[in-house]
Amino acid sequence: MNLMKKNYYWLTGLIASTVVLFASNALASSASTIFGDTTGTLVTYDNASGAYPVITAVLSAPVGSLDGYNYTWWSILAADSSGSLDLYGALPGGTSFTPAVGDAISVSGTYSPYHQIPEIGTLTSLSLISSGNTVSSPGVYTIPTLIASGTGPIPQSLAGQLVTLDNVSLYTNSAATIPVSGNFATHANVALYAKDGSGNIMEIYDWASSYSTCGALGGTPEPTGLVDITGFVTQSGAFPPEMTPFSITQVVPEPTALSLCGAGALLVLIFRLRRKA
């Protein structure tokens, strides 16, 4: 009887394992499919259509100590045609390549969105399919568009995506503008605010404790005047959506260049030089 029970339990366990494996394989799909999964679900992000997701940005890498933080985990944005996901955590044991922008990959882990960032954490496998793939530039958006979702879900078209705000100014809580001599604080997360020409405002949260790209800003001058900001949108609790910057680029107008054209007509050429802050 004991032997029969043992065999029964072994068979039951085998059936259960088969079901789990089948479910895991069934979840191997695109970003849009994974968005609909329940938090804690084991997923494989490889876009079952064969169009593997491509890394669009490395937001954090284990670069060791930087600005007072010891970065040991990765944060990688990977996108397919249906959306984008953040791969957050340590690379699985046995990973034989260093993730880079343009890499097409297949990755497995646990779906665990955080602050409405669609994330795959606790990575269990990561494979390189190909490298050197073309990556599109981030879309350009306005502040009203980025904060329109309020406390509701960030739309799939923005969640986990790199986005850019053009021609906005930065200021702090205590002043309408940033002092010319002001630097990004070291060893700390910093909350700034972006304002556009129409007076719309959005928080810019330099999340140095989680992302090495933010930590790298520590001790560098906070740009004055107009800037372009590229980053990703997050939202927590009752707070409005905010942007965590990937890069902040100061917009510096060049002197207007004039040249004669045709019968004495003037052609005005206006250039803008962008330099990374």
Provide φ and ψ at 4, rounded to 5°: -65, -40
Average pLDDT value for residue range 44-67 = 90
Residue 12 confidence (pLDDT) above 90: no
- List b or e across 48-80, with b for residues whose CB sees 16 or more CB atoms inside 10 angstroms: eeeebbbbbbbbbbeeeebbebebebbbbbbbb
Q: What CA dihedral angle connects 54, 57, 62 and 63, to 10 degrees?
A: 140
Q: What pLDDT score was predicted for residue 15? A: 31
Domains in the chain: boundaries: 2-130, 139-253
Residues 6+ apart with CB under 8 A from 134: 102
Q: In angstroms, rounded to a whole number, what is the distance separating the alpha carbons of residues 161 and 266? A: 42
CATH class belonging to 2-130: mainly beta
Provide φ and ψ at 145, rounded to 5°: -65, -40
Task: Identify whether the C-beta of residue 205 lies closer than 8 Å to the C-beta of residue 242.
Answer: yes
pLDDT tens digits, one per residue of 101-151:
999 999 999 999 999 999 999 999 999 999 999 999 999 999 999 999 999
Of the ranges 67-71, 174-178, 203-207, which is most confident? 203-207
Residues 6+ apart with CB under 8 A from 149: 155, 158, 235, 241
- Domain 2-130 and domain 139-253, same fold? Reply is yes
Residue 275 confidence (pLDDT) above 60: no
Residue 59 confidence (pLDDT) above 80: yes
Provide φ and ψ at 158, rounded to 5°: -115, -30
Q: What is the mean pLDDT of the chain?
A: 82
pLDDT tens digits, one per residue of 235-267:
998 999 999 999 999 997 765 543 333 333 322
Q: What pLDDT score was predicted for residue 27? A: 56
The domain at 139-253 falls in which architecture?
Answer: Beta Barrel (2.40)
pLDDT tens digits, one per residue of 208-231:
999 999 999 988 998 889 999 999
Kindly report whether the global pTM for this prediction surpasses the value 0.85.
no
pLDDT tens digits, one per residue of 144-202:
999 999 998 999 999 999 999 999 999 988 788 887 778 888 888 999 999 999 999 99
Q: In angstroms, rounded to a whole number, what is the distance separating the alpha carbons of residues 160 and 144? A: 18
| 28 — pLDDT class (breaks 50, 70, 90) | low
Q: What pLDDT score was predicted for residue 21? A: 34
Cα torsion angle, 158, 122, 208, 115, sign: positive
